[in-house]
Structure 1
Amino acid sequence: MKKKLIACMVCLLLITSPARPAERMAALPILEIVKAVTKKVIKAIDLRIQRLQNKTIWLQNAQKQAENVLSKLKLDEISEWTQKQKDLYKGYYEELGKVKSIITYYQRIREIAKKQSRLVQEYERAWNLFRQDPHFKDSEIQYMERVYSGIMEESLKNIDQIFLMLDSFTTQMSDLKRLEIINKAADQIDANYDDLLLFNRQNVMLSLQRAKTEADAKQVKQFYGIP
Protein backbone atom coordinates (compact mmCIF):
# COMPACT_ATOMS: atom_id res chain seq x y z
CA MET A 1 0.00 0.00 0.00
CA LYS A 2 2.76 2.44 0.97
CA LYS A 3 4.71 1.59 -2.19
CA LYS A 4 1.66 2.21 -4.35
CA LEU A 5 0.96 5.51 -2.59
CA ILE A 6 4.49 6.79 -3.15
CA ALA A 7 4.50 5.56 -6.77
CA CYS A 8 1.20 7.33 -7.48
CA MET A 9 2.51 10.58 -6.01
CA VAL A 10 5.61 10.38 -8.21
CA CYS A 11 3.56 9.68 -11.34
CA LEU A 12 1.23 12.57 -10.54
CA LEU A 13 4.16 14.93 -10.23
CA LEU A 14 5.67 13.73 -13.49
CA ILE A 15 2.36 14.24 -15.29
CA THR A 16 1.56 17.64 -13.84
CA SER A 17 5.09 19.09 -13.99
CA PRO A 18 5.72 20.95 -17.27
CA ALA A 19 8.88 20.34 -19.25
CA ARG A 20 11.55 22.75 -18.12
CA PRO A 21 13.69 24.76 -20.52
CA ALA A 22 17.45 25.02 -20.18
CA GLU A 23 17.37 27.29 -17.18
CA ARG A 24 18.43 27.29 -13.55
CA MET A 25 15.82 24.82 -12.31
CA ALA A 26 14.26 24.97 -8.89
CA ALA A 27 14.25 22.04 -6.47
CA LEU A 28 13.19 18.70 -7.93
CA PRO A 29 9.46 17.94 -7.51
CA ILE A 30 10.29 14.50 -6.10
CA LEU A 31 12.15 16.22 -3.25
CA GLU A 32 8.91 17.29 -1.56
CA ILE A 33 7.65 13.70 -1.62
CA VAL A 34 10.84 12.33 -0.09
CA LYS A 35 10.93 15.07 2.57
CA ALA A 36 7.27 14.61 3.53
CA VAL A 37 7.41 10.81 3.71
CA THR A 38 10.71 10.80 5.61
CA LYS A 39 9.30 13.27 8.15
CA LYS A 40 6.21 11.10 8.67
CA VAL A 41 8.33 7.98 9.09
CA ILE A 42 10.50 9.59 11.78
CA LYS A 43 7.39 10.87 13.56
CA ALA A 44 5.82 7.40 13.47
CA ILE A 45 9.00 5.81 14.85
CA ASP A 46 9.22 8.37 17.65
CA LEU A 47 5.59 7.63 18.58
CA ARG A 48 6.24 3.88 18.69
CA ILE A 49 9.36 4.34 20.81
CA GLN A 50 7.41 6.53 23.24
CA ARG A 51 4.68 3.93 23.58
CA LEU A 52 7.21 1.16 24.18
CA GLN A 53 9.06 3.26 26.75
CA ASN A 54 5.76 3.79 28.58
CA LYS A 55 5.17 0.05 28.47
CA THR A 56 8.67 -0.52 29.85
CA ILE A 57 7.90 1.74 32.82
CA TRP A 58 4.63 -0.14 33.47
CA LEU A 59 6.34 -3.53 33.32
CA GLN A 60 9.13 -2.39 35.63
CA ASN A 61 6.58 -1.13 38.16
CA ALA A 62 4.58 -4.37 37.92
CA GLN A 63 7.76 -6.37 38.35
CA LYS A 64 8.69 -4.34 41.42
CA GLN A 65 5.23 -4.88 42.95
CA ALA A 66 5.59 -8.64 42.45
CA GLU A 67 8.93 -8.54 44.23
CA ASN A 68 7.42 -6.54 47.11
CA VAL A 69 4.62 -9.08 47.56
CA LEU A 70 7.15 -11.91 47.79
CA SER A 71 9.26 -10.03 50.33
CA LYS A 72 6.24 -9.43 52.63
CA LEU A 73 5.02 -13.02 52.68
CA LYS A 74 5.47 -15.06 55.85
CA LEU A 75 7.64 -18.13 55.63
CA ASP A 76 4.65 -20.51 55.85
CA GLU A 77 2.93 -18.70 53.00
CA ILE A 78 5.88 -18.74 50.63
CA SER A 79 5.33 -22.34 49.58
CA GLU A 80 1.82 -21.50 48.37
CA TRP A 81 2.74 -18.26 46.62
CA THR A 82 6.26 -18.92 45.37
CA GLN A 83 5.40 -20.71 42.13
CA LYS A 84 2.55 -18.34 41.28
CA GLN A 85 4.66 -15.25 41.88
CA LYS A 86 7.64 -16.83 40.18
CA ASP A 87 5.56 -17.43 37.05
CA LEU A 88 4.20 -13.89 37.21
CA TYR A 89 7.65 -12.43 37.72
CA LYS A 90 9.01 -14.53 34.86
CA GLY A 91 6.25 -13.26 32.57
CA TYR A 92 7.04 -9.63 33.39
CA TYR A 93 10.74 -10.24 32.96
CA GLU A 94 10.37 -11.93 29.55
CA GLU A 95 7.97 -9.25 28.28
CA LEU A 96 10.30 -6.52 29.52
CA GLY A 97 13.18 -8.12 27.64
CA LYS A 98 11.14 -8.26 24.43
CA VAL A 99 10.06 -4.62 24.73
CA LYS A 100 13.62 -3.42 25.35
CA SER A 101 14.80 -5.43 22.35
CA ILE A 102 12.14 -3.85 20.11
CA ILE A 103 13.07 -0.38 21.38
CA THR A 104 16.67 -1.07 20.35
CA TYR A 105 15.49 -2.05 16.86
CA TYR A 106 13.33 1.06 16.58
CA GLN A 107 16.19 3.30 17.66
CA ARG A 108 18.38 1.77 14.96
CA ILE A 109 15.63 2.31 12.38
CA ARG A 110 15.29 5.89 13.57
CA GLU A 111 19.02 6.44 13.00
CA ILE A 112 18.61 5.10 9.46
CA ALA A 113 15.63 7.39 8.83
CA LYS A 114 17.62 10.34 10.19
CA LYS A 115 20.45 9.51 7.76
CA GLN A 116 17.86 9.57 4.98
CA SER A 117 16.74 12.99 6.22
CA ARG A 118 20.34 14.28 6.20
CA LEU A 119 20.72 13.00 2.65
CA VAL A 120 17.74 15.10 1.56
CA GLN A 121 19.03 18.16 3.42
CA GLU A 122 22.49 17.82 1.87
CA TYR A 123 21.01 17.47 -1.61
CA GLU A 124 18.80 20.55 -1.13
CA ARG A 125 21.68 22.64 0.23
CA ALA A 126 24.06 21.69 -2.59
CA TRP A 127 21.49 22.01 -5.37
CA ASN A 128 20.50 25.50 -4.24
CA LEU A 129 24.17 26.53 -4.47
CA PHE A 130 25.06 24.83 -7.75
CA ARG A 131 22.18 26.34 -9.70
CA GLN A 132 23.34 29.80 -8.63
CA ASP A 133 26.97 29.17 -9.57
CA PRO A 134 27.90 31.02 -12.81
CA HIS A 135 30.79 28.62 -13.41
CA PHE A 136 28.34 25.94 -14.60
CA LYS A 137 26.61 25.89 -17.97
CA ASP A 138 22.87 25.29 -18.22
CA SER A 139 23.56 21.89 -19.81
CA GLU A 140 25.67 20.96 -16.78
CA ILE A 141 22.92 22.05 -14.42
CA GLN A 142 20.53 19.81 -16.35
CA TYR A 143 23.00 16.92 -15.98
CA MET A 144 23.18 17.54 -12.23
CA GLU A 145 19.40 17.47 -12.10
CA ARG A 146 19.34 14.05 -13.74
CA VAL A 147 21.92 12.70 -11.29
CA TYR A 148 20.06 14.14 -8.31
CA SER A 149 16.77 12.76 -9.64
CA GLY A 150 18.35 9.30 -9.70
CA ILE A 151 19.57 9.68 -6.12
CA MET A 152 16.13 10.86 -4.97
CA GLU A 153 14.47 7.90 -6.70
CA GLU A 154 16.84 5.59 -4.83
CA SER A 155 15.80 7.44 -1.68
CA LEU A 156 12.21 6.37 -2.27
CA LYS A 157 13.42 2.77 -2.36
CA ASN A 158 15.17 3.41 0.94
CA ILE A 159 11.90 4.64 2.43
CA ASP A 160 10.20 1.48 1.20
CA GLN A 161 12.85 -0.48 3.10
CA ILE A 162 12.14 1.55 6.24
CA PHE A 163 8.42 0.76 5.91
CA LEU A 164 9.35 -2.91 5.48
CA MET A 165 11.34 -2.77 8.71
CA LEU A 166 8.43 -1.23 10.59
CA ASP A 167 6.00 -3.79 9.17
CA SER A 168 8.30 -6.61 10.29
CA PHE A 169 7.13 -6.06 13.87
CA THR A 170 3.54 -6.91 12.95
CA THR A 171 4.44 -10.22 11.29
CA GLN A 172 6.10 -13.44 12.40
CA MET A 173 9.77 -12.80 11.68
CA SER A 174 12.94 -13.99 13.35
CA ASP A 175 15.33 -11.49 14.90
CA LEU A 176 18.00 -12.66 12.45
CA LYS A 177 15.79 -11.89 9.42
CA ARG A 178 14.73 -8.53 10.88
CA LEU A 179 18.35 -7.61 11.53
CA GLU A 180 19.21 -8.60 7.98
CA ILE A 181 16.57 -6.22 6.60
CA ILE A 182 17.75 -3.39 8.86
CA ASN A 183 21.41 -3.82 7.90
CA LYS A 184 20.54 -3.95 4.21
CA ALA A 185 18.54 -0.72 4.42
CA ALA A 186 21.34 0.96 6.39
CA ASP A 187 23.92 -0.08 3.77
CA GLN A 188 21.75 1.24 0.93
CA ILE A 189 21.23 4.64 2.54
CA ASP A 190 24.92 4.89 3.44
CA ALA A 191 25.82 4.19 -0.19
CA ASN A 192 23.35 6.80 -1.49
CA TYR A 193 24.60 9.35 1.03
CA ASP A 194 28.25 8.72 0.12
CA ASP A 195 27.46 8.99 -3.61
CA LEU A 196 25.73 12.30 -3.02
CA LEU A 197 28.63 13.74 -1.00
CA LEU A 198 31.13 12.60 -3.63
CA PHE A 199 29.12 14.13 -6.47
CA ASN A 200 28.79 17.39 -4.54
CA ARG A 201 32.53 17.52 -3.82
CA GLN A 202 33.36 16.91 -7.47
CA ASN A 203 31.10 19.76 -8.56
CA VAL A 204 32.59 22.14 -6.00
CA MET A 205 36.12 21.28 -7.13
CA LEU A 206 35.12 21.81 -10.77
CA SER A 207 33.75 25.25 -9.96
CA LEU A 208 36.97 26.08 -8.10
CA GLN A 209 39.10 24.94 -11.03
CA ARG A 210 37.17 27.24 -13.35
CA ALA A 211 37.88 30.31 -11.23
CA LYS A 212 39.84 32.70 -13.45
CA THR A 213 41.45 34.82 -10.75
CA GLU A 214 42.61 34.42 -7.19
CA ALA A 215 39.77 36.69 -6.07
CA ASP A 216 37.31 34.54 -8.00
CA ALA A 217 38.67 31.38 -6.33
CA LYS A 218 38.36 33.02 -2.92
CA GLN A 219 34.75 33.93 -3.70
CA VAL A 220 33.99 30.33 -4.72
CA LYS A 221 35.41 29.05 -1.43
CA GLN A 222 33.32 31.50 0.54
CA PHE A 223 30.24 30.59 -1.50
CA TYR A 224 30.60 26.87 -0.68
CA GLY A 225 31.94 27.38 2.83
CA ILE A 226 35.39 25.97 2.08
CA PRO A 227 38.01 27.02 4.68
Structure 2
Amino acid sequence: MKKIQKVLIALLCCGFTLLPTRESNAIVPAGILEVIKAGVKKVIKAVDLRIQRLQNKTIWLQNAQKAIENAMAKLKLEEITEWTERQKTLYQEYFEELNKVKSIIAYYQKVRDISKKQARLLEAYQKAWNLLKKDKHFTAEELHTMSKVYEGMLSQSAKNIDQLLVIVNSFQTQMSDAKRLELIEQADKQIDIVFYDLIKFNRRNIRLSLMRAKAQHDVEAVKRFYNLQ
Protein backbone atom coordinates (compact mmCIF):
# COMPACT_ATOMS: atom_id res chain seq x y z
CA MET A 1 0.00 0.00 0.00
CA LYS A 2 2.93 2.41 0.64
CA LYS A 3 3.94 2.07 -3.00
CA ILE A 4 0.38 2.86 -4.12
CA GLN A 5 0.20 5.89 -1.86
CA LYS A 6 3.55 7.23 -3.16
CA VAL A 7 2.32 6.98 -6.75
CA LEU A 8 -0.96 8.61 -5.75
CA ILE A 9 0.82 11.51 -4.02
CA ALA A 10 3.13 12.05 -6.99
CA LEU A 11 0.15 11.99 -9.32
CA LEU A 12 -1.76 14.59 -7.33
CA CYS A 13 1.25 16.85 -6.71
CA CYS A 14 1.99 17.18 -10.38
CA GLY A 15 -1.53 18.53 -10.80
CA PHE A 16 -1.97 16.75 -14.13
CA THR A 17 -0.28 19.71 -15.85
CA LEU A 18 0.42 17.96 -19.11
CA LEU A 19 -1.17 19.34 -22.27
CA PRO A 20 -4.50 17.71 -23.17
CA THR A 21 -3.32 15.33 -25.88
CA ARG A 22 -4.40 11.69 -26.14
CA GLU A 23 -1.79 9.88 -28.16
CA SER A 24 -2.17 6.49 -26.49
CA ASN A 25 -4.66 4.52 -24.47
CA ALA A 26 -3.99 3.58 -20.83
CA ILE A 27 -5.04 0.09 -19.96
CA VAL A 28 -4.95 -1.75 -16.65
CA PRO A 29 -3.88 -5.36 -17.33
CA ALA A 30 -7.00 -7.45 -17.87
CA GLY A 31 -5.26 -10.42 -16.27
CA ILE A 32 -5.51 -8.83 -12.83
CA LEU A 33 -9.25 -8.28 -13.27
CA GLU A 34 -9.78 -11.88 -14.30
CA VAL A 35 -7.75 -13.15 -11.34
CA ILE A 36 -9.87 -11.13 -8.90
CA LYS A 37 -13.17 -12.10 -10.54
CA ALA A 38 -12.26 -15.79 -10.61
CA GLY A 39 -10.92 -15.62 -7.07
CA VAL A 40 -14.05 -14.00 -5.67
CA LYS A 41 -16.26 -16.59 -7.38
CA LYS A 42 -14.06 -19.43 -6.14
CA VAL A 43 -14.12 -18.22 -2.54
CA ILE A 44 -17.87 -17.59 -2.45
CA LYS A 45 -18.64 -20.94 -4.09
CA ALA A 46 -16.39 -22.84 -1.68
CA VAL A 47 -17.79 -20.99 1.34
CA ASP A 48 -21.44 -21.49 0.33
CA LEU A 49 -20.88 -25.22 -0.21
CA ARG A 50 -19.20 -25.67 3.16
CA ILE A 51 -21.79 -23.59 4.99
CA GLN A 52 -24.52 -25.78 3.50
CA ARG A 53 -22.76 -28.93 4.69
CA LEU A 54 -22.21 -27.48 8.15
CA GLN A 55 -25.82 -26.38 8.42
CA ASN A 56 -26.90 -29.94 7.64
CA LYS A 57 -24.54 -31.16 10.34
CA THR A 58 -25.97 -28.58 12.75
CA ILE A 59 -29.49 -29.91 12.18
CA TRP A 60 -28.29 -33.47 12.82
CA LEU A 61 -26.51 -32.49 16.04
CA GLN A 62 -29.50 -30.54 17.27
CA ASN A 63 -31.79 -33.52 16.63
CA ALA A 64 -29.36 -35.81 18.46
CA GLN A 65 -29.28 -33.48 21.44
CA LYS A 66 -33.05 -33.30 21.53
CA ALA A 67 -33.37 -37.10 21.43
CA ILE A 68 -31.02 -37.45 24.41
CA GLU A 69 -32.86 -34.73 26.33
CA ASN A 70 -36.20 -36.49 25.74
CA ALA A 71 -34.81 -39.88 26.79
CA MET A 72 -33.36 -38.43 29.99
CA ALA A 73 -36.61 -36.61 30.81
CA LYS A 74 -38.58 -39.89 30.73
CA LEU A 75 -36.35 -41.71 33.20
CA LYS A 76 -37.33 -42.16 36.81
CA LEU A 77 -34.99 -40.90 39.50
CA GLU A 78 -33.78 -44.39 40.46
CA GLU A 79 -32.85 -45.04 36.82
CA ILE A 80 -30.76 -41.90 36.48
CA THR A 81 -27.42 -43.26 37.63
CA GLU A 82 -24.85 -44.96 35.46
CA TRP A 83 -26.92 -44.66 32.28
CA THR A 84 -27.42 -40.94 32.83
CA GLU A 85 -23.72 -40.33 33.27
CA ARG A 86 -23.03 -41.96 29.94
CA GLN A 87 -25.73 -39.89 28.27
CA LYS A 88 -24.47 -36.71 29.88
CA THR A 89 -21.04 -37.39 28.43
CA LEU A 90 -22.54 -38.02 25.01
CA TYR A 91 -24.75 -34.96 25.31
CA GLN A 92 -21.74 -32.81 26.20
CA GLU A 93 -19.85 -34.10 23.17
CA TYR A 94 -22.77 -33.17 20.90
CA PHE A 95 -23.05 -29.78 22.57
CA GLU A 96 -19.36 -28.99 22.11
CA GLU A 97 -19.41 -30.20 18.51
CA LEU A 98 -22.48 -28.07 17.79
CA ASN A 99 -20.79 -24.96 19.17
CA LYS A 100 -17.70 -25.71 17.10
CA VAL A 101 -19.76 -26.06 13.92
CA LYS A 102 -21.61 -22.82 14.61
CA SER A 103 -18.28 -21.06 15.15
CA ILE A 104 -16.94 -22.34 11.83
CA ILE A 105 -20.10 -21.19 10.04
CA ALA A 106 -19.58 -17.70 11.51
CA TYR A 107 -16.00 -17.70 10.17
CA TYR A 108 -17.18 -18.74 6.71
CA GLN A 109 -19.88 -16.08 6.65
CA LYS A 110 -17.28 -13.43 7.49
CA VAL A 111 -15.07 -14.65 4.65
CA ARG A 112 -18.04 -14.51 2.27
CA ASP A 113 -18.79 -10.92 3.35
CA ILE A 114 -15.19 -9.92 2.64
CA SER A 115 -15.35 -11.62 -0.77
CA LYS A 116 -18.48 -9.68 -1.67
CA LYS A 117 -16.71 -6.49 -0.59
CA GLN A 118 -13.94 -7.42 -3.03
CA ALA A 119 -16.55 -7.74 -5.76
CA ARG A 120 -17.97 -4.29 -4.95
CA LEU A 121 -14.47 -2.83 -5.11
CA LEU A 122 -14.00 -4.30 -8.56
CA GLU A 123 -17.31 -2.85 -9.73
CA ALA A 124 -16.39 0.60 -8.36
CA TYR A 125 -13.05 0.46 -10.17
CA GLN A 126 -14.54 -0.63 -13.49
CA LYS A 127 -17.28 1.99 -13.40
CA ALA A 128 -14.86 4.85 -12.67
CA TRP A 129 -12.09 3.70 -15.02
CA ASN A 130 -14.43 3.18 -17.97
CA LEU A 131 -15.58 6.80 -17.58
CA LEU A 132 -12.15 8.30 -16.94
CA LYS A 133 -10.77 6.75 -20.13
CA LYS A 134 -13.43 8.63 -22.09
CA ASP A 135 -13.02 11.94 -20.26
CA LYS A 136 -11.60 14.51 -22.69
CA HIS A 137 -10.11 16.52 -19.81
CA PHE A 138 -7.30 13.98 -19.29
CA THR A 139 -4.34 13.29 -21.53
CA ALA A 140 -3.05 9.86 -22.49
CA GLU A 141 -0.05 10.39 -20.20
CA GLU A 142 -2.30 11.24 -17.28
CA LEU A 143 -4.46 8.19 -17.90
CA HIS A 144 -1.34 6.04 -18.04
CA THR A 145 -0.33 7.32 -14.59
CA MET A 146 -3.84 6.67 -13.29
CA SER A 147 -3.74 3.14 -14.65
CA LYS A 148 -0.56 2.44 -12.67
CA VAL A 149 -2.25 3.56 -9.45
CA TYR A 150 -5.29 1.38 -10.20
CA GLU A 151 -3.04 -1.52 -11.10
CA GLY A 152 -1.34 -1.30 -7.70
CA MET A 153 -4.68 -1.30 -5.91
CA LEU A 154 -5.95 -4.27 -7.88
CA SER A 155 -2.73 -6.20 -7.30
CA GLN A 156 -3.20 -5.76 -3.55
CA SER A 157 -6.80 -6.86 -3.92
CA ALA A 158 -5.67 -10.02 -5.72
CA LYS A 159 -3.30 -10.82 -2.85
CA ASN A 160 -6.23 -10.45 -0.49
CA ILE A 161 -8.12 -13.11 -2.43
CA ASP A 162 -5.20 -15.48 -1.92
CA GLN A 163 -5.41 -14.90 1.82
CA LEU A 164 -9.14 -15.64 1.83
CA LEU A 165 -8.47 -18.96 0.11
CA VAL A 166 -5.89 -19.78 2.79
CA ILE A 167 -8.53 -19.08 5.43
CA VAL A 168 -11.13 -21.26 3.68
CA ASN A 169 -8.68 -24.15 3.49
CA SER A 170 -7.44 -23.61 7.05
CA PHE A 171 -10.32 -25.63 8.47
CA GLN A 172 -8.70 -28.74 7.03
CA THR A 173 -5.39 -28.01 8.80
CA GLN A 174 -4.25 -27.54 12.40
CA MET A 175 -4.54 -23.75 12.34
CA SER A 176 -5.79 -22.33 15.65
CA ASP A 177 -8.97 -20.30 15.91
CA ALA A 178 -6.93 -17.33 17.10
CA LYS A 179 -4.69 -17.43 14.03
CA ARG A 180 -7.66 -17.92 11.71
CA LEU A 181 -9.46 -14.94 13.26
CA GLU A 182 -6.30 -12.86 12.91
CA LEU A 183 -6.10 -13.65 9.18
CA ILE A 184 -9.78 -12.81 8.69
CA GLU A 185 -9.37 -9.46 10.45
CA GLN A 186 -6.25 -8.69 8.40
CA ALA A 187 -8.04 -9.48 5.14
CA ASP A 188 -11.04 -7.37 6.12
CA LYS A 189 -8.87 -4.43 7.16
CA GLN A 190 -6.78 -4.64 4.00
CA ILE A 191 -9.76 -4.60 1.64
CA ASP A 192 -11.20 -1.62 3.54
CA ILE A 193 -7.92 0.27 3.04
CA VAL A 194 -7.82 -0.47 -0.69
CA PHE A 195 -11.52 0.37 -1.07
CA TYR A 196 -11.03 3.70 0.72
CA ASP A 197 -8.02 4.58 -1.44
CA LEU A 198 -9.94 3.65 -4.58
CA ILE A 199 -12.96 5.79 -3.75
CA LYS A 200 -10.75 8.72 -2.73
CA PHE A 201 -8.72 8.45 -5.94
CA ASN A 202 -11.88 8.28 -8.06
CA ARG A 203 -13.31 11.38 -6.41
CA ARG A 204 -10.11 13.38 -6.83
CA ASN A 205 -9.97 12.53 -10.51
CA ILE A 206 -13.56 13.60 -10.99
CA ARG A 207 -12.95 16.85 -9.08
CA LEU A 208 -10.00 17.58 -11.34
CA SER A 209 -12.16 17.02 -14.40
CA LEU A 210 -14.76 19.41 -12.99
CA MET A 211 -12.08 22.06 -12.38
CA ARG A 212 -10.93 21.83 -15.98
CA ALA A 213 -14.52 21.79 -17.22
CA LYS A 214 -15.21 25.03 -15.34
CA ALA A 215 -12.58 26.76 -17.41
CA GLN A 216 -14.17 25.36 -20.56
CA HIS A 217 -17.76 26.10 -19.44
CA ASP A 218 -18.92 22.50 -19.62
CA VAL A 219 -19.34 21.66 -15.92
CA GLU A 220 -22.90 20.44 -16.38
CA ALA A 221 -21.79 18.10 -19.13
CA VAL A 222 -19.18 16.57 -16.81
CA LYS A 223 -21.74 16.18 -14.03
CA ARG A 224 -24.04 14.32 -16.37
CA PHE A 225 -21.14 12.24 -17.64
CA TYR A 226 -20.29 11.04 -14.10
CA ASN A 227 -23.94 10.96 -13.02
CA LEU A 228 -23.38 13.58 -10.31
CA GLN A 229 -26.22 15.38 -8.59
TM-score if structure 1 supplies the norm length? 0.85
What's the offset of the Cα at 1:25?
4.1
Moved more, 94-103 or 158-167: 158-167
Cα distance in 2 for residues equivalent to 1:173 and 1:40: 21
**Distance (Å, rounded) in 1 between the aligned partners of 2:42 and 2:84:** 47
The structure 1 residue matched to 2:175, chosen from 164, 173, 176, is 173
Q: Do the aligned partners of 1:135 and 1:210 also contact (CA within 8 Å) in 2?
A: yes
Give the one of 71, 74, 82 matched to 1:72. Answer: 74
Equivalent in the alignment of 1:8: none
| Equivalent runs, 1:165-204 vs 2, <5 Å | 165-204=167-206
Identity %: 57
Distance (whole Å) between structure 2 residues aligned to residue 188 and residue 115 of structure 1: 11
Match of 2:106 among 104, 108, 125: 104
C-alpha separation in 2, matches of 1:222 and 1:106: 41
Unaligned runs of 5+ in 2: 1-22
Would you say the 8 A contact 2:29–2:151 is kept in 1? no
Q: Given the two structures, how large is their TM-score scaled by the length of structure 2?
A: 0.84
Residue matched to 2:3? none
* Of 185, 205, 208, the match for 1:206: 208
- Show CA shifts across 1:115-147 (max 9, x none): 111111111111111111111111111111111
Number of residue pairs aligned between Structure 1 and Structure 2: 207
- Pick closer, same or farther for the CA change 1:225–1:27 going to 2, 3 Å: farther
Q: Which has the higher contact order (CA 8 A, sep 6+)?
A: 2
User: What is the identity, as a one-letter code, of the residue corresponding to 1:57?
Assistant: I
Unaligned stretches of 5+ residues in structure 1: 1-20
Question: What root-mean-square deviation, in Å, do the aligned CA atoms of Structure 1 and Structure 2 show?
Answer: 1.8
Does structure 2 conserve the Cα–Cα contact (< 8 Å) formed by 1:28 and 1:145? no
**Cα distance change, pair 214–67 in 1 and its aligned pair in 2 (3 A):** farther
> Which residue of the partner structure matches residue 11 of structure 1?
none
- In structure 2, the residue matched to 1:14 is none
Query: Could you tell me which amino acid in structure 1 is paired with residue 52 of structure 2?
Result: Q
Match of 2:123 in 1: 121
TM-aligned CA distance change 1:158 to 1:129, over 3 Å? same
Contact in 1 for aligned 2:43/2:168 (Cα 8 Å) = no
Instruction: Using the TM superposition, give the Cα deviation of residue 226 of structure 1 relative to its aligned residue in structure 2, in angstroms.
Output: 1.5
